[in-house]
Each structure stands twice: as C-alpha cells, then as structure tokens.
Structure 1
Amino acid sequence: MRLRKRHLLWLVPLVTLAIIIVIPLPAHLLDRGSSSVRILDRNGEELYEVQKSHHGSQRWTSLHEIPHSCIAALVAIEDRNFYGHAGISLKGIARALWQNLTARRTVSGGSTLTQQLARITLGAQRRTFTIKILETLLALKLEQSLTKDEILERYFNEAYFGHRSYGLAAAAQTYFGTSVAELSTAQCALLAGLPQAPSTLDPFVDLDAARMRQKRVLNAMRETNILSQDEAELAARETLTLTEDRTQIRAPHFVMWLLTERMQELAGPAVRTTLDLTLQTAVERIVERKLKELADKNVTSAAVVVLDAHTGDVLAMVGSADYFDTEHDGAVNVALAARQPGSALKPFTYALALSHGDTAASTVADTFVQFLTQEGTPYAPRNYDYLEHGLVRYREALANSYNIAAVRVAERVGIDVLLGFLRSAGLSTLTQTPDHYGLALTLGDAEVRLLELAQAYGIFARGGKTLPVRTLLADSMSDGTNILDPKVAWLITDILSDPTARLAEFGESGPLNFDFPVAAKTGTTRNSRDNWTVGFSPDRIVGVWVGNADNSPMKGTSGITGAGPIFHDAMLAATENIPERIFERPAGLVQKTVCRLSGLLPTPLCPHMIEEWFIEGTEPTEPDSIYQSFLIDTRNGLLANTKCDQTFTEPKGLAVFPREVEQWAREQGWPTPPTKESPLCGAQSPMEKPANRQSSWLEITHPQPNESYLLDPLIPDNQELVIFEAHASSDIQTIDWYVDGEKVGTAKAPDFRMKWKPEPGEITVTARANDLMEESYIAVLKR
C-alpha cells in the first residue's frame, strides 16, 4: 500500500509534464498582434495608438532590430541563466529566498524572464498561489513552444516600461524620443532596469531612482563580462536627456474627439481618418506664429477647423494653442465648445431675406432704432464702430457687417424663422425659444460651436445643401439636405467674396482678400471675449476662433485683426496644390444696373450707378425715388412755383430720404429739400398742421413714458447715450431740453434731436418751447 502511494506521488509530476507537452499553447497567447488600434491620417501617417483595456503605447519590434547592448542588459539584470534553464530556475528561486530572508524584506525576485513573460501573458492583477503555479506551468510551456530568441522578442514587446509604454520601442520613443536602433548602451541600461518597478522608477517622476537602477544594470553587465570597467563607467557618466513628458500624439484635439465620439467603431490594427496631417501641422504652426503677434492684446488661444466642402471631411482641427498647456486649459477643444459667434451669423439672416423676395439691392436704414424686448424694455442695437451709415443696400450692409441694419432685416424675417433655419443648418446648441434670443440672435447673441458653424457655412459653398462631416475614410459620404435656393446661396457667396462691397469697413487690403475666390465673414462679441472668421473657397471651408479659455477679454482685437490673419494663412495652406476654381453661378440669375443709393432703376438724376445680381423675377421695375427734382428759388433756396420769375429759378436734384434716415442725412451734410414755398413767388401755400390743432403744440416722441435703460459697462461712456426727440408745430423752431429740472441743451426743428449722457436713477425729461412744456418719465438702471 505504501509502495502504491509512492508511485502515485511520482505520477503527479509525470502527468503534469505530459499535459505541458501534449496540450498545445492557446493560439491567443501566441498571437503577436498588437492590442492597440493605430489611428492614422488620410495618408497613413500615425496620429495616435489607442490601447484596448489596460494597455498603453506599443510597437512590435523584431529581436534583430534591438541593439545587443539592450538584450545583454536585460539578461544580465533579470535572468543571467536565461540560456541555461528550461523556464524556471531553482537556483534563482533559492538565491532570491536567501536574499529576502537576510534583508527581512523583498529585495530580489526569483522569476526567470520566461516566468515574467508568462505573468505578462496571463495578465493577472493579483499573484495568488494558484496564479504562481499557472505562471510556472505556462513558463514551461513557453519554453517548449518558443525558442529563446522568440521569448526575448516577446518580452521586449510586451513588458511594461512605465508611462503607458508597452515594449522597448514605445519606451525608447516615450523617454528619449528615439528609435530602438539608435539607443545607446547607457539608454539600454536605464530602460532594462525599468520593468522591475515601472511606476517607482519612472524617469519622469524620479530620475535619480532610475539612474541608481541603471548603475545596478551596468554593474551586472560588467560582472557578466559584457562591459569592461571603463565601458561601464563611461556609460554611467553619459548625460541622458529625456524628451518632454508628453503623450505621443498628433492632432490631439481631433484624436480625443474621435475617441470620445466613436471609440466603439475603431476596429482593426489601423484606422484611417479624414485628417490631413501635413495640413494639420501647417495650421498648428500658423496658430503658434500668429498668437505670438497677438500676445500684447491678451490673446492666448485659438481654434481652427478645415473641412472639405465637397465631402465634409475634417481635414484639420486645432482646438487650442497648445493641447498640453494646462495654464490656459489647452486640452479644452474650443472647436467643439459653445461660444458666442458675433456677426458670423448675419449671412443666414440675409439668406432668409433673399429667400423671401428681397434682393441684394434692397435697402435698409442703418440708423438709430429702438425695439421693445419681450420684457418690455427697449433694445437699441449699435454698430461695432458706434456710427450710423444711413440708407444701405443689403450687399453693403452684410459685407460691412452693420449691426443695426442686420437687426432691422432680422425683424422683417422673424426670429422664429431665423432660429429654425439656423437649426436646420446644423447649429445644435440653439435650444432655447425665439423669445429667449430675441432680435440680437442675428448679432450672435447665442452660443454655437466652431465646427458646426463651419458646417453651416457649407450651405453657401454647396449651393444650399447641408454638409455632414466625415471623420473616417471608411464612412460613406452623404449628399446633404437642400435647405436653401442655390441662387440665394450664390448671392450670399458673391456678397461675402466682394472686396469692393466691404471697402467702407475693411479697406482695400486685409486678411479677407485673396487672389482667388474666397467668401468670408468675421464676428466679434461686444465684450471682446470671442472673435471669429469663417469662410470658404469652392473646395475648402475654414473656421477660426480667437480668444481666451478663461473667458477674459482681449484688448483691441476684432474678427478682422485677431481671427482674420489666422484665417488667411490657414486658407492658403488648405488650398495649396488645389486647382483654382470660381464659385459657379447657377442658372436663373440676371445682372441689372441700379441706382447705388436706392437699389432701384436709375433715373437721369441718379449720380452713381452699380451693377447688381438678381434672381429672375426679383429685379427692380420701379425708378429711383430717392433723387427728386425740385424747382428752387435761387434767391433764398426755397421752393419756387409757377408765379416765380424764371430768371431766379433752377431745377435741382436733391435726395429725399425715408423718415428714419432724415436725421442721419442732415448730420452728414446732405442738403435738405425745402418744404416751404418762396414768399418772393407770390401766394404761399399754407403749412400743414395736425388735424384739430389750430395753435402751437409740442410733443415728446422719444423717450417714451416709463421706458427703462440699462447701462452696459462694455459700451464706452461717450457712446452710451439716450436720444431725445420731439415734434412741434411749424412756428416752433427750437426747444430746450431739461433733465430733472436742469437744462441740458437746445435742439432745432424738425425733430429737435439731442443726445444725453445718462446717469442712474428715476429721471424726468422735459421739453420746453415758449410757454409750452411736455414731460416724460424714464428709469436708468446700472448693470
């Protein structure tokens, strides 16, 4: 019986050995495929290596590519008897046990390189007794299945060297920025020492500890006669320069966005994206260069997106000045952040107006106007330059980005219609009600994403079709949805690419001017926290944002001076090596000559004419009504009649402006057409008076009773003014204005207009003329 038990004891290891020999190693354990997915640009250039589960950066390298000094260093420090054992080393285990007992702590491990590879292969997080047995069995099986060189190759490719670097090649790139083949003996010695405790010995965290471990490796190499004493000392004295502690990644904002949005779809050893790394690099350098020029303007960041206007491919994405700049929140991708776009939304307002029958020659008053908000408070838009520009055609109003004109056009279109149109164009962040945004929506008083705004501009570049973006070359291409008449899209494009139309505000040269067709629009928020330029050629769409991640205001910058220069250079880079094309004009457009001031058909009195494009059926049919002929008595400049001596009369062409432009015209020096007949010409027509009013009268027309004004700290004091206006009978030519009983000025007929610098409080505004007095009560509030 005792003999049978002894035989059974021998049977256990024999059966175990038989199992090791007979049972094949599972295929997945011998799989050399990387556990990562390489993200590539459209041309195959690597952007980033994405690791599945708990893996980091990894590159498979053949053993013959690895320097002998690296191989020798690893064997010397980890497993000197590597070539003499069959997977486990009883001598090594005994030595480690004795050293640990002597030191009363763990100072040495008894695992062979093969056992370490088995541990890596199993991937167990805890080393229980069962796991150790499995490691031993797997080590024996690895020795049976693989050659020593194959074991070393797998180790060098799968061992963890710290800092998300799996394998020697990744470690060489992470710590030294070099390839495996270029590693020096000193570098090999440092890297060979890291797998023992990769976190503790991380050179970026504790270089001194890593260098101490390196010396132990060099001593081991000297003890095994791989290095001489002099060679070991020379390697120990070699200066080791670490690379900057950064993740090995290119186009980081794009890559991280892709990982966030489409991680589950990234399959296979490599995935090609739509990004063009050459263009991406060029745009990154442009941003870096231009931001240095803006440093004195308190500008620290910028974002750029470049899209293919035909396919929607994202060709470049820069989300900030520097992804790794923690001081300025560089990792925040502003290309995807919601920011106020300023005037960059205006083209959509005008596109809707043209869709509803207006034309590029339609006129709008860019003069002071006040609207009531949903809350009943007055809203008076102001232009960026705080000036008024009179009667302007849509072409010049949009090209020069006049705010007051845009708000008047938005009122005609309807904010609910504009909001729906912007959403259909792809601006997903506009989730509030029309009342929430109000008329200021057309001025960018809402938050949008740069990427989505660039997409939305695609409707102009693509003849009215939306532009779905593509990020992977494997994605199918979508034709988009037609949401705008191609003729309207072309007209907006023509306006935005017209350097003559924008002369008044932007001058003859600047970042929006190119020697090939480019349509562009700038945007600047009134608090100077964001400025934008978005535009397109027939083939490329470029969007640029400039500002600060902490939302601090910039100094003395606008869309044309901040984002504009980046846009210009980015557009040049994006269109390099692309054949020049024009914006193709669709059928159904006609060109007509119109009077420049009114946009109507010219008459002999019209001094200036221009050519304008119209959708067939919308071209003007009425003659100009602004310039009119008056018969003037040359003796006094008043109206002549048939009783006048013709010796003293002459016809004169004068401009008759709409009422909302009259005051501006007078201030600009336009001759005012006379309303009275000359007394030298005989009977004088009686002046018109309001019905049922036979005596003198006075009425304040502005401000209206009980209006409230909110002082805005962002508007200069000399520009934040309340307008006083009145009407009076013809016998009153001047009136005096009072605020809380104190005279503040005198104004003349016909509108008795005066500007008053407001002060907070409950205010009584009084107009006086002779014995007449009118009052109005307003409130001035402080923000």
Structure 2
Amino acid sequence: MTFIRFLLWATFLSICGTFLILASAFLYLSPGLPDVEALREVKLQTPLRVYSADQKLIAEFGEKRRTPIKYSELPELMIKAFVAAEDNRFYSHHGVDPKGLARAAVQLLQSGSIRTGGSTITMQVARNFFLSRERVFSRKFNEILLALQIERELPKEEILELYLNKIYLGNRAYGVAAAAQVYYGKSLDELNLAEIAMIAGLPKAPSKYNPIVNPDRALERRNWILHRMNELGFIDEQQYNQAKETSVIAKYHGLTIELNSPYLAEMVRKAMVDRYGPNAYTDGYSVYTTINSSNQEMATQSLQDGLVEYEWRHGYRGPEKQMPPEAGFDLKKWQQALKKVSTIGRLVPAIVTSLDKKTATVLTEKGEQTLNWDGIKWARLHKTVNSLGPAPQKAADILAVGDLIRTIQVDETLYLAQIPKVQGALVSLRPTDAAVTAIVGGFDFNLSKFNRATQASRQPGSNFKPFLYSAALENGYTAASTVNDAPIIYNNTSTNKAWRPKNSSGKFLGPTRLRKALYQSRNLVSIRLLQALGINKMLSYVDKFGFDPEALPRDLSLSLGSGAMTPIDLAKGYASLANGGYRVEPYFIDHIEHLGQTVYQAQPYLAGSVEEGEAFKPAPRIMDERANYILYTMLQDVIKRGTGRRALVLKRSDIAGKTGTTNDQVDAWFSGFNSDLTTTVWVGYDQPSTLGRREFGGTAALPIWIKYMGLALAGKPEHPLKQPDGLVKVKINANTGKPTQASAHDTIFEIFRTELAPKYDPSSELPGLDDEGALKTEDIF
C-alpha cells in the first residue's frame, strides 16, 4: 500500500509539475505571441505582374512565384491529398495533435535528435507566417500556443487556404497554384490525381522529393501519399491503381509570357518601384498597360525586320566565330555548342555543316536546314558603310564549314543574317489621349536594355519641320505663301566661320510655296521661315507641344531639327497634329490592381469637346483647328508627292507624315499618322555615325513605319482628320501661289482659312514663271 501510495503521489506531482511547466511557459511566452487576427490581413508575397490592355501577361517581377487562390477554388482531391500527407487528423484536433507530438517525443528519446516535429497543418501555418524554422524547444512551444490560438479564431477552411497559398514547394513556387504551373504548366483544375499527389509530397522536403531533380524519390513519395489517400477512404481502389501507374511527367515550366514587350515591362517596373518602393515586388500588384498586343507584336517584328534589311544593304561582316577544331564534324558537339548561343530577336544561331555550289546546309536548333542561293546571295563583303565587295558567285565565297552564323525565316525562305550593329526605336500612340499602344526600344532587349524610344535624345532633322510650318500657319502664313528657296550664308563672329546650309539635293527652286517646300523638305525655306517668325516666338510655340525649349538651340539651325529629343517626345508632338490640335501626354499604365481592387486609374488628357470625368481630363487646345487641318493636308502631300512616297504602297488616303534625316545621314526618322494611330520610327547608331550616303528617313525609317502601319491599320476603314468649318478652296497659280482665273494653266486648288483666302487680281498674273526653277539668278536674291 505504501508503494502504491508513493506511485499515486509521484504521478500526481508529475502531472502538477508538467502543468506548472506548461503554465509557466505559457505565461512567459504568450505576451510575445503575435495577434492571430493579423492572419486575416496577411499579405502573401506575390510578384508584380504586368499585362497588356487585352490582358496578356507581359512580365512578372519578384523572387517568389505565387498565385493566391480562394478555398472555394481548391480541388477537393488537392485538399484530401495534403491532409493525407501532412495531417490526417486535421479536422478532428484543435490545432495540436497529441499523438503526433508523442510520436515525435519517442523519436527524440530513441535517436537523441529531433527527427520529426509532430506538426499539424495549423502548426505549420503558425510557423510559416510568424516564426522561424529554427529547431529549438522555445519555437516549438510558441508554435503550439499559436496553433491553439489560430484554431480558436479561424475556421478550418481559412487555415487550409492560408497553408496552401503559403507553403514552399520548390523551384521558387509558393503555394499550390504556382506549383501546378511550375511543374506541369497547368492550372489547379487541370491537374490529375497523380499530379496532385506529387505536389502534396513536396512540403516534407521540396528538394529531396522534387520530381524534376529526383524523380525516383518523388515517385516513391507520391505513391505513399496515394496509398494513404486510399487507406483513409479519400479515393477508391480504382483511382489508386490508375494514379499509381501514371508516369512522372513533371518538368520545369518557366513563366508563360504571352506578349514580348520587355522595354515596356521595364518602364512599368521602374514606375511601380518609384510609386510603391520595394513592396512593388511582393505585394501582389497587377498592372494593366495601354499596350495593344497585336500592335506590339507588329511593332517588334517591323523594327527587327527593318534593321535586318539595313544590314543586308550594307554587306556581310562574316561569321560570329569559327567552331573550335576539337569539335570536328561531330554534330552532337555542335548541337551542344548551339545550346549555349542565345537567339537574338528572330535571329537563330546556326553552324554551317556543308557547302554546295550555291547552297549551304546549316545546323540549327530544329536540326539541319538548307540555305538556298536566294537566302545568301545578298552577302557581299562589308568594307565600309558606303563600300561593298564584289557580288558572290558561289556559297563558298561567303561561308565556310564550321561558321557560327545567324539565320532568319522570312515566309518560306531561310536567310543568312547577322546581329545588327545599327539600332532603332518605334513608338505608337493613340492620338486622342497619347496612350502607348506599342513601343520598342531597340533590336533586342537582351542585347541592350537601353530604351532608345524613351532615353535616346537625337536630332530629328526635318521630322521637326511640321511644327515650324504649324507656327507659320498660325501666324498669318498660308499653304500658298511663297518663301525664297535660295542660298544663304551666315557668318559666326564668335568662331569666325560661315554657315552655308543647303538642300539635300544641292539645288534651289527660288520662291516656293510652303506646301511644296514641306513635301520636298526645302531647308532654305525653313530657315527663312524661322528667321521671319523669330526664334523666341518659335520656342514659345513648340513649348505648347511639350518640347522643352531649354533643350532646343536658340539659333536658325532649330528650323532644321538640330535640337535633341527622344522618339516618344516627337511622337507626342505628332499626336497633337493627328488629334486636331490638342496637347496630350503619353501614358502607358491604364490601371493598377491590388488584391482584386483598383488602386490607381489613369486620367489622361482626352482630345476633343469633352467634359472632365473620372477617367479623363479635357485636353487643352494648342493649335487652331483650321490651321491644323491645312497642315494635315500638307503632310498628306509628303506621302502623295514628296519624300514619303514609298508609303503610297499602303493605298490609304488618310495617312500623313514627314521624313527626317540629319547631317551626314546620322539619324533617320519617319513620323506619320491618321486619326487612329500616330507612329514615330528612328534608326541610327548608338554612337552617332553615318548610316551611309544612300540612307535617309525615306529609306531607313519609312519602310519600318510602312510595315507596322500596314499591319496595324489592315482591314480598318480610312479615318482622315475631319475638315472643320471656316475653310475655303481657291484656285491658285502653282508657281506663284496667287489666285488665278479658272482657265489658266499650271493651276491647283489650295485650302485657306476663310479670312485669309486671297482674291483674284488680274494684275497679279506674272509672265515667265511656267517652269519651276526657271528664274534668273538675279531674280532669286
């Protein structure tokens, strides 16, 4: 009896001691425990995602790949698989499973080290959200106490939702939705039972049971989970056997980018970090841009094709390298070497494996392909930008076995190509509000991350002239006003040098109507026009279009576009010409969502007669609508009969634009529009250098613009600017610009503002001016 009494007291004292220890631990640890209510407001680290206007994924920024989902979106089998794998008594315990803890304690006593923690799903939630992963007893007590609190305050469904969104599952995948994409390229509702069980096996050890790295161990773990699901009655025998026989097909599925627009993505990333700081990468923002996915694809292809075609015009610089001799003719070694060479733009790396007289066989990622003569005959040797070697007569004149080259597929033909040294940019805006619908900042973002569309300030040359002519039309000039196109010399007293500007043709036409001077891009007319208007007045005028007067020269070279500006700045100015004369500001973020709520909505300036609303602001008018329309018709003539005639291939009467070429053909431009779209294209070298004596805005930039606009406007009705009231047409003499009688020769109709329309005066008819350029020298000066 004494011994029994001793055992009872010992048991009682042990229970009291245990209770005292637990109570002491609770009193000591509980004040430092976080508030479980914070779980309801928890912010899962979700990456920044960027989308096009039509919701195609452009980019994702952030270390952790996660796609938060609601409990109601979780497949039932996914829930059962995780319960079977991690905590089969999840629905019966209150946060802590005594059996699991007892099992962990026995393992500790037997091995002397912590083998398993006996953690329930609720305890894992407590650890994942609030605690470290350090294996010490104090953390385990905190974990237990927090789990008990969590179970008191949250329903089981919320606990599971938090767990399945937070858990790390390898390969940067956090949460089951991200894992489904990473390992199978599927959404949750597309997974089969075997795939669900495979994902459920990852939390125990994401690297050890990774089906990509360790498929055998992963298969063993998957099958054990399937067995547990069958044993617990979660699946029947047939489901179990069928899933167990399923092969392991997991492989890494990188981020599925639906639209290639890396320059725009980087613009968004920077804007978001400026707005939200580092939290932009983790707080689950979704940015919806103004980019039109089809326009963006067309813009990228058009610019890349245009730069490749420029390279074709200037000769072949040779292979990128010769394969090392030790590779020999071992195709397997060459295939391995090719895997280390990235595709640049649409330029695919290839190795020449054999040559015939006028064909070459090349090894690409697709296997061996044939380069026919049509794809290689362009490749005259590049000597200088203005000099080429003789035309090749056979394939061996161009290529050698072992050459690492580039190829590009154009329609059905494979072409020899090379990575361009020349660069370019394209910006396309919606004229009514300057929304960026497409933007390309260079040949390939991976080749150069410098965004030439927004960062490269270059001289626009004659591309700037429409703004000078716009100022003239608003200051009393008409499209029929004549200005002398004749030589002029300015002496610079500070440098003791003379400035002798000239036309690109080297010829002079004498008195020339402004319309003709613009579509023929007569430099001397522009200089005299600026001289008449005054530089200060001109700088003040272009300031209204958003051009920075401080960045522009305060001399007559301004008339020839010697000031530096970026392509997007120039496109912004042309958007004002295209929308009837309203100032608009480019924007590329339409709205930002956070946790399904819109936290930012763009409020762009909108051209036209509108009232201010939530989504827009009325754009200020900066140009008389009648002068704007007259300028539009003048820029239409640039395409109909001037330096932009190549654009006639589009067979559209609603387009207008202007070429631009700087001294020594360093920069080539074309900007053009209709009422739906304004697009600016620039071509040049990053380190300013001549493009070649035959390269101008009309040859280097305009073909890119034509290809893009042709695709972007395909199938769309013509949309010219609407002609406003207050305009009249008057028949004038094509040479003098004066009104003339209906029966006279060399006459055209010209558009005038009603109050500036000239009246016919018979005495104004001047003889001897039928042939343009027939004036005597003494009459020019």
Q: TM-score range by the shorter chain?
A: 0.5 to 0.7
1:131-166, Cα deviation, whole Å (9 max, x unpaired)? 654444333444555676654443332234566643
Given the alignment of the two structures, is residue 487 of structure 1 paired with residue 626 of structure 2, yes or no?
A: yes
1:308 matched to 2:430? The reply is yes
Structure 2 residue aligned with 1:723: none
For 1:64-110, what per-residue CA distance to the aligned partner results, in whole angstroms no more than 9, with x for missing partners?
A: 6559589748965x7788789744643675588699978xxx99877
Correspondence 1:442 to 2:559:
yes
Q: Distance in 1 between matches of 2:740 and 2:636?
A: 25
Alpha-carbon distance in 2 for matches of 1:74, 1:549: 59
2:722 maps to a residue whose letter is E
Partner of 2:727: 589
Secondary structure class of the residue paired with 1:498: helix
Aligned ranges 1:689-768 → 2 under 5 Å: none
Cα distance in 2 for residues equivalent to 1:118 and 1:132: 10
SS at match of 2:618: coil
Superposed, 1:463-474 pairs within 5 Å as 463-470=580-587, 471-472=589-590, 474=601
- Report the alpha carbon displacement of residue 653 of structure 1 after superposing the two structures with TM: 13
Q: 57, 60, 64: which is aligned to 2:69?
A: 60
2:483 paired residue number: 364
Residues 287 and 197 of structure 1, relative CA distance in 2, 3 Å threshold: farther
Q: 1:396 aligns with which of 516, 539, 542?
A: 516
Residue 534 of structure 2: aligned partner? 414
Measure how far apart 1:493 and its partner are: 0.8
Distance 1:101 1:307, change over 3 A: farther
Q: 2:167 aligns with which of 159, 173, 176?
A: 159
Is 340-349 or 548-557 further displaced after alignment?
548-557
Alpha-carbon distance between aligned partners in 1 of 2:690 and 2:756, rounded to the nearest angstrom: 44
Q: Deviations along 1:657-684, whole A, 9 cap, x unmatched?
A: 464848xxxxxxxxxxxxxxxxxxxxxx
Q: Distance in 2 between matches of 1:418 and 1:446?
A: 13
Instruction: Tell me how far apart the structure 1 counterparts of residues 153 and 447 of structure 2 sit (CA, whole Å).
Output: 53
3-state SS of the aligned residue for 2:728? Answer: strand
Quote how far apart the aligned CAs of 1:344 are.
Answer: 1.4
Q: Matches of 1:13 and 1:654 in 2, distance apart?
A: 106
Three-state SS of the structure 2 residue aligned to 1:448 is: coil
Deviation per CA, 1:546-585, whole angstroms, max 9, x where unpaired? 4456767656543333432343344355556765443222
The residue type paired with residue 40 of structure 2 is: L
**CA deviation after TM superposition for structure 1 residue 399, in Å:** 1.5
DSSP 3-state at the match of 1:431: helix
Map of 2:680 onto structure 1 = 543
Q: Deviations over 1:190-242 (max 9, x none)?
A: 766776787x89xxxxxx98734443222223345649999879745x4x554
What CA distance in whole angstroms lies between the structure 2 residues aligned with 1:158 and 1:439?
Answer: 65
- Displacement of 1:600 in angstroms is 2.5
RMSD of equivalent CA atoms: 5.0
Among residues 323, 332, 354, which one is paired with 2:451 in the alignment? Answer: 332
2:267 alignment partner, one of 254, 257, 263: 257
Change (3 A) 1:11 1:576: farther
User: Compared with structure 1, are the counterparts of its residues 5 and 285 closer, same or farther at alpha carbon in structure 2 (3 Å cutoff)?
Assistant: same
In structure 2, do the counterparts of structure 1 residues 183 and 547 end up closer, same or farther at CA, with 3 Å as the change threshold? Answer: farther
Q: Call closer, same or farther: CA 1:479–1:131 in 2, change over 3 Å.
A: farther
- More off after superposition, 153-162 vs 604-613: 604-613
Instruction: Give the distance between the partners of 1:482 and 1:135, measured in 2 at CA.
Output: 65
Q: Which residue matches 2:636?
A: 497
Match of 2:545 among 422, 425, 442: 425
For residues 217-296 of structure 1, the aligned pairs below 5 Å read 217-224=218-225, 226=227, 235-236=247-248, 238=249, 241-243=251-253, 251-261=261-271, 264=275, 272-288=288-304, 290-296=306-312
CA distance in 2 between partners of 1:448 and 1:125 (Å): 55
Q: Is residue 65–residue 172 contact of structure 2 (8 Å, CA) maintained in 1? A: yes
Deviation at 1:403, TM superposition (A): 3.0
Distance 2:717 2:77 in 1: 52
Q: What is the alpha-carbon distance in structure 2 between the residues aligned to residue 403 and residue 282 of structure 1?
A: 34
Looking at structure 1, the residues matched to 267 and 565 of structure 2 have their Cα atoms a distance apart, in angstroms, of 17
1:10 correspondence with 2:19 = yes
Q: TM-score, normalised by structure 1?
A: 0.64
TM-score, normalised via structure 2 length: 0.65
Instruction: Classify 1:245/1:465 alpha carbon distance in 2 versus 1 (closer, same or farther; 3 Å).
Output: closer
Equivalent-residue separation in structure 2 for 1:334 and 1:547 (angstroms): 12
SS of equivalent to 1:534: strand
Amino acid at match of 2:590: L
CA contact (8 A) 1:626 1:655 kept: no
| 8 Å CA contact retained: 1:344, 1:534 | yes
Whether the 8 Å CA contact 1:279–1:574 is kept in 2: the answer is yes
Distance 2:526 2:195 in 1: 65
| Larger helix fraction of residues | 2
Q: Choose which of 105, 115, 125 in structure 2 pairs with 1:117.
A: 125
- 1:354: how far off? 2.1
Q: Distance in 2 between matches of 1:581 and 1:275?
A: 21
Shift, 1:122, TM fit: 2.4
Question: Against the structure 1 CA distance between its residues 459 and 100, is the aligned structure 2 distance closer, same or farther, given a 3 Å change threshold?
Answer: farther
What's 2:575 paired with?
458
- Structure number with greater CO (CA < 8 Å, separation at least 6) is 2
Question: For structure 2, which runs of at least 5 residues remain unmatched after alignment?
Answer: 1-9, 229-239, 314-419, 592-600, 604-614
- Say if 1:270 and 1:376 are closer, same or farther in 2 by CA, change over 3 A: same
Partner of 1:339: helix, strand, or coil? coil
Q: Is the 8 A contact 1:349 1:413 kept in 2?
A: no
CA drift of 1:112 comes to 5.2
Relative to structure 1, the CA distance from residue 432 to residue 135 in structure 2 (aligned partners, 3 Å threshold; closer, same or farther) is: same
Which residue number in structure 1 is paired with residue 656 of structure 2? 519
Correspondence for 1:559 among 674, 677, 697: 697
How far apart, CA to CA, are the structure 2 residues paired with 1:367 and 1:100? Answer: 101
Displacement of 1:464 in angstroms is 2.6
- Distance, in Å, in 2 between the alignment partners of 1:345 and 1:354 is 15
Contact 2:212–2:252 (CA under 8 A) maintained in structure 1: no
Distance 1:388 1:653, change over 3 A: closer
- Superposed, 1:102-141 pairs within 5 Å as 113-122=121-130, 133-141=141-149
| 5+ residue gaps, structure 1 | 202-207, 631-651, 663-783
Q: Given the superposition, is the C-alpha separation of residues 279 and 231 from structure 1 closer, same or farther in structure 2, using an over 3 Å criterion?
A: same
Structure 1 pair 654–573 and aligned structure 2 pair: CA distance change class (3 A):
closer
Aligned residues: 616
Q: CA deviation digits over 1:272-325, x for unaligned, max 9?
A: 544444544454454455555455254765433333322333333344444xx3
Q: Give, in whole Å, the separation in 2 of the partners of 1:64 and 1:46.
A: 21
CA 1:604 to 1:32, structure 2 compared with 1: closer, same or farther past 3 Å?
closer
8 Å contact kept, 2:580–2:628:
yes
User: Does the C-alpha gap of structure 1 residues 339 and 364 become closer, same or farther in structure 2, counting only changes over 3 Å?
Assistant: same
**Farther off after superposition, 551-560 or 593-602:** 551-560
Structure 1 residues 559, 251: CA separation in 2 closer, same or farther (over 3 Å shift)? same
State the percentage of identical aligned residues. Answer: 27
Query: Are the aligned partners of 1:598 and 1:625 in contact in 2 as well (CA < 8 Å)?
Result: no
Local SS of the residue matching 1:543 = strand
Structure-2 change in CA distance of 1:581 and 1:114 (3 Å)? same
Q: Residues of 2 paired with 1:191 and 1:43: CA distance?
A: 32
Please give the secondary structure, in 1, of the residue aligned with 2:723: coil
Q: How far apart, in 2, do the equivalents of 1:463 and 1:572 lie? A: 23
Q: C-alpha distance in 2, partners of 1:357/1:219? A: 86
The answer to whether the 8 Å contact 1:307/1:541 transfers is yes
Whole-Å Cα distance in 2 between the matches of residues 101 and 553 of structure 1?
77
Alpha-carbon distance change, 514 to 217 in structure 1, aligned in 2, over 3 angstroms: same
